[in-house]
Structures are given as structure tokens and as C-alpha cells.
Structure 1
Amino acid sequence: MKITRKIINIDENLCDGCGLCIPSCHEQAIQLIETPNGKKARLVKEIYCDGLGACLGTCPTGALTIEEREAEAFDEEATQRYIAAETAHVESTEVRKTQEVPAFHGCPSARAFQWGEQAEPIKQSVQSLKSVVPQSELRQWPVQLHLVPPNASYFQDANLVMAADCVPFAYANFHQEFLKGAENAITVGCPKLDDTRAYLEKLTQIIRLNQLKSIHIVNMEVPCCFGLVRLVQQAIERAGVDVPVKVTTISIKGDKLT
């Protein structure tokens, strides 16, 4: 049944597919759809949108507005069933991933590795270069959020660094300041270009499955990059775990702003 009411309107000409609006919609009424013009935000169904506009403030391009038009009435019961089904899907995925890990047969770029101190022959070979070439402080693989296993051993009891893709290029001292230390783990992503819904699910799993000591978000000063903060906040809420969060912002010229 259609009625005249307020509902979200998405201007596809303005939408750049960043996905920042998705975690902000508590009804999960928005998703990214692949179109001939790239990924665009779309309403899943009119009945899932309550028209309150919680997603408006997260759109960096102004593609989201509230309009009053003829639309299907908001169905709270149907929306709750839809959210429950989506949550059940995520939780069933988490259960499967916490079971015994089979022999690895996937892409080598996604295979998890962890290492500590360098082997003695390698340490000896780089001794003379230490004063000239800074050492890498990376102790794990992979690092991309889509690729990291949520139950990887390097996340357990770790200080998690959640960095925007561009940060290590902009900030010269990234390894020494943010990665150094055996308890530090890292994952990276771009809230503008990547699938933020998948990011939210993965972050929720990482927080829920591991006893993280802290989360340090390191983002760039550009507006879309602050989507990482919102994603981490949403993931903590969904995981139901209290984790201390710190945010550091890097300027496009490589200065630490906060």
C-alpha cells in the first residue's frame, strides 16, 4: 500500500559509491549496486526506509536528501525480520571462520603469516644498513581488510591499527610511530572506494573474536576518510565489546594533525 510520506532520495548523478551512508542506516535499507556508471547507493526496499534521514550527514557529495512522495509505508516488522536475517548471515559466517582452519588453497595474497624478530642471518646482513635504511616494523600478512582472516593469531590481545590506504604514503614515519611493537597488528582500507558493508562485517568479526586491547584509527584529513571512524564505532556497537579507540589524522602534506 502506497501513501504520501517522507523517504530517502538518492541522486545517482551525485553518488560516488563511497558507501559511507550504509553503516549509518540502522534499518540497513541502503546497499551498493553495480551499475554501468559504477557502484551506486540504492534503497533495498521502500518498506525498510523510515524516512528519518540518519544517513544524510555521512554523504560527502550531498547525494542523499529527504523528499515527500508517494511510497510504500514503512514496515517495522518486515524491517526487523530483514535485519535479523542479515545478522544471522553474518554470525553464521563468523562461526564457520572460528572452526578449525583447513589447508590453505586460496590466493597466496590472502594467506595469513605472522613473524616476530628477524632470523639471525637476516639480522646480520642488515646490521650495517640500520643507520641508513629504516627497518620495516610489519609483523604480519595480509594487511588489507578484505583479505585478513578475522581469527588470525596476530589479532589476539593486539593493539589494532586501522589505517586508511593513503596514510603510509603521506606519513613518512608510519612504521616507527604506528607499527613498532610486538603487540601491534594492522589492517588497512579505503572507506570511499571499497565495500564498506563488507568492511563493517569484517571489523565486527575481528572485534568480537579477539580480545583487542585498543583500536587506533589513522586516517587522512579528507572528509570521506572519516568514514573509518564511523565504521569502527558501528562495528564496536554490533560486536557488543568495549574497546578503547584513538583517532590520529594525517594531512595530505604528511603532517600529523591530531
Structure 2
Amino acid sequence: MAVRNIVKIDEEKCNGCGQCVTACAEGAIKIINGKAKLVSETYCDGLGACLGHCPQDAITIEQREAPEFDEEATKAHLAREGKPEPAFACPGLAMHQFEAAAKAGPADDVEAPAVPSQLGHWPIQLKLVARTAPYFADADLLLAADCVPFAMGDFHQRFLKGRSVAMGCPKLDDAQFYIEKLADILGANTIRSLTVVHMEVPCCSGLTRVAREAVARSGRLNDFQDVTVSLRGDVIRSETVEVESGVASRA
């Protein structure tokens, strides 16, 4: 067995709603005796598409020894269940090609004036920032997924201006470390507000869970703004997530 990412379900939090079952394309989760259960580790690919669908925050991704994900066994399992085979790839890896916002023309030969950066500090990676860095004092904090600035042409003016920033990837990095680090930052500083910006792909919604759990642990904020960005760089949803100390619920 190898050490890999795999779903962990907290049965005490689970209310048996079944939303995770629908979200799991591999059929790895079932409702048994009113609780969600991982029926086989070999059916779980560890990508965490189910995370953003659990209203009780009962699902997390942990790294531990587990059998490798078995694509052929999963296909056979789905066939027995009468379910369609999934495309065995994270939706966030699907290829997209976009047309440029404007076609090149004669005017493009003239060098355009540089757009000033709104970045106010360095480093910006959540792993690297210091919990008591001076730029976190009395700050409006932005927690952004790595891909967002590449998708959004107006990211600097729309979100970064006037904010301190920390960035990370909830799919590729250690989410538990992010929760603990962000909770430390919130607990050690007077943070005026928190805005979370992430992409629409399922794995990226893990950043919302990171923020929710970190805020609950810190007990410093009552809510934060959660913004979802499309692959074309448009804001498709912006909502307030209300958080009580130790408890998180969506407004």
C-alpha cells in the first residue's frame, strides 16, 4: 500500500443527506444505516469532488496508507450498480482554449502603458508567509487560489488592491496545514475581513473549507466572503459564509 490522499468521513457530523453520494462519480460512497460510508478505498481517487457538496463539513481528505485507486475495479463496480463510467480525470484538468479578448491590430504595435501592480508584500504563498508579518496587522485579507489571477484580467484592481494576500492550491498542497496556518494568522492578528477567491472547478472549492475551518478555530471573525470565478475569469457567485466559533454554516 502507498501513502496517498483518500476521503475521510466523520460519521458524527454526517446527517445522511446523500449529497456526497451524488457528487462521487466513482460510486465510492454510499448511505448505510443513515450515514455516509466509504464502501471501498480502491474506488476512491482522492480528488475530493465530494468535499464542496457536504453541508455538514463531514468530509475531509487525509493522507494515509491505502490501496491504490483501481480504475478497472471501479468500472466493474459502477457497471454492477448500473451507473455510467466517469471520465477518470479531475474536472479541473479538462483542456480549454479561449479566444483573446481582442484581435491584434495596427494599434497593438504601440507599446501600451504598464498597468501598476497592486501587490503590497512578498512572499504571498500561504506556506511561506509569517504568521505575525506586519502586513497582516489590521488587514483586509485575501485568500486566493493559485489559478485565479491567471483567469481574471482585472484581479489586481478588483480583489488585490488594498488587501494583504495569501495564495495556495487546495488540490496539490496540504489542506490541513493550510487550515492550521490560516487559523494561526487569524488568531495572531486583527484581521478586519477575509475574502476567499477560487475557481469553479470542484477541487478548488476546498479553499472555502480551509477558510471555514480556520475561521472557526480562530474565533476571530463571524463571516467571510466566498467568491467563485469561472474558467473565463468571470465572477459567477459571491456569497457570505457565516461562521461560529467551532461551527461553520453557509448563509
- Counterpart of 2:156, as a letter, is H
The reply to whether residue 11 of structure 1 matches residue 47 of structure 2 is no
Partner of 1:31: 62
Cα drift, residue 131 of structure 1: 6.7
1:4-39 deviations in Å (ceiling 9; x for gaps): x98943524532355986x9459x9x731378969x
Q: CA RMSD in A?
A: 3.3
Partner of 2:173: 194
2:153 match: secondary structure: coil
Runs of 4+ aligned structure 1 residues displaced above 2 Å come to: 5-21, 23-26, 33-38
- Counterpart of 1:238, as a letter, is R
Cα drift, residue 176 of structure 1: 1.2
Rounded to whole Å, the distance in 2 between the matches of 1:36 and 1:166 is 31
Rounded to whole Å, the distance in 1 between the matches of 2:150 and 2:65 is 29
User: Higher helix proportion, which one?
Assistant: 1
1:139 to 113, 120, 124: 120
Rounded to whole Å, the distance in 1 between the matches of 2:50 and 2:142 is 20
1:211-252 deviations in Å (ceiling 9; x for gaps): 100001111111121111111111111112224411221100
Q: Matches of residues 145-184 of structure 1 in structure 2 within 5 Å?
A: 145-181=126-162, 184=163
2:173 match: secondary structure: coil
Any unmatched runs of 5+ in structure 2? 1-32, 70-88, 91-110, 238-251
Contact preservation (8 Å) 1:213, 1:244: no
- Counterpart of 2:45, as a letter, is C
Q: State how many pairs are aligned.
A: 161
Cα drift, residue 180 of structure 1: 1.3
Which is bigger in relative contact order (C-alpha 8 A, separation at least 6)?
1
TM-score under structure 2 normalisation?
0.56
- Counterpart of 2:144, as a letter, is A
1:114-141 deviations in Å (ceiling 9; x for gaps): xxxxxxxxxxxxxxxx971101111111
Rounded to whole Å, the distance in 2 between the matches of 1:19 and 1:210 is 33
- Counterpart of 1:222, as a letter, is V
Any unmatched runs of 5+ in structure 1? 39-59, 62-129
Rounded to whole Å, the distance in 1 between the matches of 2:64 and 2:47 is 9
1:209 to 173, 182, 188: 188
- Counterpart of 1:255, as a letter, is D
Rounded to whole Å, the distance in 1 between the matches of 2:64 and 2:123 is 27
